[in-house]
Amino acid sequence: MKLKKQISDPRELLADKLNKVGVDVQKAFFIALDAGRNLVDKEYLIDLGLRGEQLNVVENLVKNFYWGD
């Protein structure tokens, strides 16, 4: 019997990436959920308290999520 490759929800993958770059678990979860609803932009991230380099990294991760990367 061949095992099927486990497919993860893209939002879970995004939340994991966000957590790995220093976003706390709860914020990463909210960002990923809202990204799945196409609600995340730079203002949203700033309102969550992201600043500086972390803001830039998270913004790029979200953009990649929207582009399907």
Residue 68 banded pLDDT, cuts 50, 70, 90: confident
Residue range 24-67, pLDDT digits in tens: 999 999 999 999 999 999 999 999 999 999 999 999 999 999 99
pTM of the shown model? 0.85
Q: Do residues 61 and 17 touch, judged by C-beta distance below 8 A?
A: yes
- Name the residue with tokens 């992201």: 50
Question: So what's the pLDDT on residue 7?
Answer: 65
**Burial classification of residue 54, based on how many CB atoms lie within 10 Å of its CB (0-12 exposed, 13-18 middle, 19 or more buried):** middle
Note the pLDDT of residue 8: 82
Nearest 10 degrees: CA dihedral of 65, 37, 11, 5? -90
Tally of CA atoms within 13 A in the half-sphere of 61 that contains its CB: 25
